[in-house]
Structures are given as structure tokens and as C-alpha cells.
Amino acid sequence: MPQTRPDQAPNQHMISSHALHGYTPINKNKGGPPRSAVSTAEGLVTTFICTNADATDFAVGDKFRLFLSTGVLKENKLFTITVEAVDTPGAGSTTFTFTPAAAAVTAIGNYISNAQDISDIGDIRNYQDIASIDARLMTINSGVYTQLRLNSMTLNDKLHAIKLNDEAEF
């Protein structure tokens, strides 16, 4: 383990691959860095509307996660794009239809990202950083997992809480 001087605090926001048992996050669609698109109009529970420029990063069959404008995961689902309609509802906009349906309509400022594009969102080995783990816990129960509580939890505590939640769903 690398030595740090007393005046150098280790970065608390980094997780080594060793901490995640040597597994790395999966970004299967098109390779490269994570991609995202911001909603420019309110959609339905199965549609997401963005600019044509943002839409070029996604295609039918791509998987994504839905986030609030604050960066918090909106819900704990992995969605798949089933239809792409360019210049709909108007010029310069693209509407994506996706499955399964979201719990609520997509709102202006929500965004989609494949940064959390993982084949099994219940598999804790695929979480890439503390922020995504914290977002998942807040999605599970924001009343229990407040930012203050998350700041006091160890990585092991957080992974254990997610594991307990995922096992309860089956």
C-alpha cells in the first residue's frame, strides 16, 4: 500500500479497482467515454426529448440510466431505446422511445447517460465511484440515506446496504 505523508490526505472520492474486487465498470455501447443527453422538453413515461446534437450519441438498442438535473439517479432501472424519431416533435429535436416505462414523465433538465450502463444494476461490482454508489442509495431511500449519513458510512457499509436491498427485491 502506498505511503502518504501526514500532510497528504488520500482522495476519499476514488475507489481503487482492488476495493471493487478487481472489477471495472462496463461501458458497452460504442466504447469510449460515457455519453449523455439533456432533456429539452417534457416527455412521457416512455419518451425522452433532446436536441438532435445530443441524440447523435445514442441509437436504437442503446441502454441508459435516467438522472435528475441535479445528477441524482431518478430511478433504479436500466432503460433501452426502442425508437428514435429525428426532428420530432419539431426541427432540431429528437424523441427517443424507451422500455420499460419510467415511474414518472421525463422533465426538462433530466438527462440520460450510459455512464452507468451495466448489464445488471444489482451487481455491485459494476459501480464506478462513490458518487454513483451514493446516488443509488439515495434512490433506494432518500429518507434513510441522507447526505450526512452517506458521509459517515464506509465503502463496505454502502456496498452492504445495496446488497441487502437487491436481495430483498428477488
Residue 25 has pLDDT above 80, yes or no: no
Residue 64's CATH number: 2.40.30
Boundary of a domain, candidates 78, 102, 117: 117
State whether 112 and 44 are in the same domain: yes
Cα separation, 12 vs 21, whole angstroms: 18
Task: Tell whether 57 is covered by a domain.
Answer: yes
pLDDT at 15: 41
DSSP state of 157: H
Cα separation, 29 vs 22, whole angstroms: 22
Higher pLDDT, 73 or 96: 96
Full domain range(s) for residue 139: 119-170
Q: Are 80 and 61 in contact (CB under 8 A)?
A: yes
State whether 123 and 75 are in the same domain: no
State whether 79 and 94 are in the same domain: yes
Cβ burial, residue 135 (10 Å; 0-12/13-18/19+): buried
Mean pLDDT (whole number) for 96-101: 93
State whether 75 and 49 are in the same domain: yes
Residue 111 has pLDDT above 50, yes or no: yes
Q: What is the pLDDT of residues 60-92, one digit of tens each?
A: 988 888 888 888 888 878 888 999 999 988 899
Strand ordering across the sheet containing 63-67: 36-38, 111-113, 63-67, 79-86, 93-99, 47-51
| Tally of domains in the chain | 2
Cα separation, 52 vs 144, whole angstroms: 39
Task: Tell whether 1 is covered by a domain.
Answer: no
State whether 149 and 112 are in the same domain: no
Please state whether the predicted TM-score (pTM) of the whole model is above 0.85.
no
Q: What is the pLDDT of residues 137-154, one digit of tens each?
A: 887 888 899 889 999 999
